Each structure stands twice: as structure tokens, then as C-alpha cells.
Homo-oligomer: A and B are copies of this chain.
């Protein structure tokens, strides 16, 4: 399939729908996050599930990230192939075929993985032994997201012991991500949720260290909360991903101190393909161009235009009375409701600066769900 643009053309000549990165805003977001954690004794392991792009991962490392997180082995394969030397699969990996792939990757980079089950620890240990590699293993504890993870405290200690007993596994610490807190709208409520999570981390770490097991890393934290994790003192590694792009749903959060507000840097460029009535415009970007799981896209920089309905290949935009109506063929910028699954729809980013296409970056891990 051909790309929707080539470097050097004007933004207005980009074919649509296209996924754009506004490079100036993107770079400011990276700088802003690094400035906010400087001197805090915490390292950034940027989440690559957001962007699925080795080019972006390399830029995050150049700005100071120590490595990346992935959610899938296939994402980790793309990141390692792209030269990222330190990758944590911040997720459980189950099944012999996947464990063999994970272990094979550890020949080329430092590889970490999470566990929440003793049988899985045994399978991981065996896979590492067969591949003759060592793996960093983090015990995932459920700090309020009610997804994966063992309960804090004793259950986590029991898993840590089983990891320490394996000659091929290194107990690296705790995975503690409060995903459910990221989109709680009020900043103070997000802070309170992270403080509850911090208590669970402290209890667990205390139990593990009291058993004579070192717990070097506590990793977690997202773009919506990470400075609360840092202020608690319970984490020494954060896993922010969405900060590079922001999306419409994150923007609905209250952004107050201590958290900086990041800028929208990811857009879907769409064309008005039908103007059937004065109050209705239809764009060529629907469900296959912008994921709607966290809400419809927003029309950017145009008052009175509201994206109200998405079907597979269409977006219906209502034109408020008195608003400047878009003409047939006009291009509009949309802010996706949720950046991660939207990125996963496209094969490349069209990177724009000052109204010109500067580069195309392949989304090499698009569709990497295995």
C-alpha cells in the first residue's frame, strides 16, 4: 500500500485519512516530562505500546529514558530489532511458544517480564534455561486496577521466593500500575488513588525485604498520575506512554499541580467528502481511522464543528449555526479519543513541522498483538 505522503510536501497535500505527529508539540512533550522528573531519583521506562515505533523509542532513549515497556512479545521483538537495548514486557506472558520467543529475545537485549502465577514462573524458568538466558522478572501486584496481578503482601512474597529459587530468573522488583486511576478526572482523586496504591507497594516491598530478598525496582505509573507515584517515594521507575501524544480522553482530565499538562501532538487528518446539508459535513475518517472506545474524536481548532457519529468509514460532523462551515474537499484535523488503539490502525506516522511533512516513521509494531 502506498503511503499518504512523502517528505517535503505540504500538509495540505497529504492524502487522507492520515495519522499526523506535530513534531514541535511532540518534542515539547518529551522535554516537559523529562524536566518534570529531573533530579527526582526516578527513571523513565517509556511505554512503547502507545507508539509501536522504534524511531520514537530511540528518541525517548536519547532524551533520557532507560528503556521501554511493551505489552506483547511481538512488540518487544520489534523494539529489540530497532536497537532498543532494555525492554520490559510489563505484562504476563503465557504459553510455551510465546515464552520461547521471549527467551530468545534475551540473547539480544536486557529483557524483563511480569508474573502473577507460580506455574507461570516455572514455565518461564524452563524457557530461559532452554534458551540459556537470564530474564528479569517482576512480580505484578494489583494496586487497584483489578486486572492482572497478585494481591499485595504475602502472595507477592511467595512469588518473589519462587523467582529467587530459579537459577535463570532474576527477581527485579515489583510491577505496580494503577491503570484505573489514569482517567479519574479530578487531580486530587487521582492522587488519592495513587496514595492507596503506594501503601500496597510499601507493604509488599517491606515483606519481601524482611525475607532477605532485595527489591531493586518498583515500576509503574502512567501519564495521568506519574508525579504522584514519584512524590509517594514508593516507585523508582515510571512507565508513561501517552504523554508524547495526549488524546481527547486524557485532555478531559483535570491537569493541576503537580502534573504538567501535555499538548495534543497526534492528529488524524481527514477530508470533508460530503456536504449533504448546511448543518452536516461528512469526513472520510470513521471507526477504521480513529478508535472510539474512549469517545469520539474532536475537531481541532474549529469552533462550532462537532464530530457526532462514526461509522466504519465515515464521520458525521455537525456544523453549529453561525460557525464557519467546511467546504467539500477541505481538510480537518481530528484529535483521537484514545491514542493507543488509534495508532494501531495505521502503518506510518506522517511527521509534520511548520505545515510541511518532515518525515514518515513506520509503525513497525502495528498489529503486534501476539
Q: Interface of A with B (CB < 8 Å)?
A: 1-2, 4, 15-18, 49, 71-72, 74, 78, 91-95, 97-98, 116-117, 119-120, 142, 146-150, 179, 271-276, 280, 282, 284-285, 287-289, 291-293, 310-314, 316, 328-329, 338, 340-341, 344-347, 366-370
Q: Closest chain B residue to A149 by CB distance?
A: B276
B-side contacts of A15, CB under 8 Å: 95, 97-98, 370
- CB pair A368 B147 closer than 8 Å: no
- CB pair B289 A369 closer than 8 Å: yes
Q: Closest chain B residue to A289 by CB distance?
A: B369
B-side contacts of A273, CB under 8 Å: 91-94, 148
B-side contacts of A74, CB under 8 Å: 1-2
User: What is the bound-complex CA distance between A341 and B291, given in angstroms?
Assistant: 9
**Which of B95, B314, B367 is the one whose CB lies under 8 Å from A346?**
B367
B-side contacts of A313, CB under 8 Å: 49, 71-72, 91, 369
Q: How far is the CB of A126 from chain B (nearest CB, A)?
A: 14
Q: How far is the CB of A276 from chain B (nearest CB, A)?
A: 6
B-side contacts of A316, CB under 8 Å: 146-147
User: What is the bound-complex CA distance between A280 and B117, given in angstroms?
Assistant: 14
Provide a sorted-by-A list of 27 A–B residue pairs whose CB atoms are within 8 angstroms: A1-B78, A4-B370, A15-B95, A72-B313, A92-B274, A94-B328, A116-B274, A116-B276, A117-B274, A117-B275, A117-B328, A119-B328, A120-B328, A147-B282, A148-B274, A148-B282, A150-B276, A284-B369, A287-B293, A287-B338, A287-B341, A291-B291, A293-B293, A312-B340, A312-B341, A313-B369, A347-B367
Q: Closest chain B residue to A272 by CB distance?
A: B94
User: What is the bound-complex CA distance between A199 and B209, given in angstroms?
Assistant: 77
Q: Closest chain B residue to A331 by CB distance?
A: B95
B-side contacts of A328, CB under 8 Å: 94, 117, 119-120
- CB pair B116 A49 closer than 8 Å: no
Q: Closest chain B residue to A75 by CB distance?
A: B313
Q: How far is the CB of A250 from chain B (nearest CB, A)?
A: 14
B-side contacts of A344, CB under 8 Å: 288, 345
- CB pair B72 A271 closer than 8 Å: no
Q: Closest chain B residue to A52 by CB distance?
A: B288
B-side contacts of A369, CB under 8 Å: 17, 284-285, 288-289, 313, 345
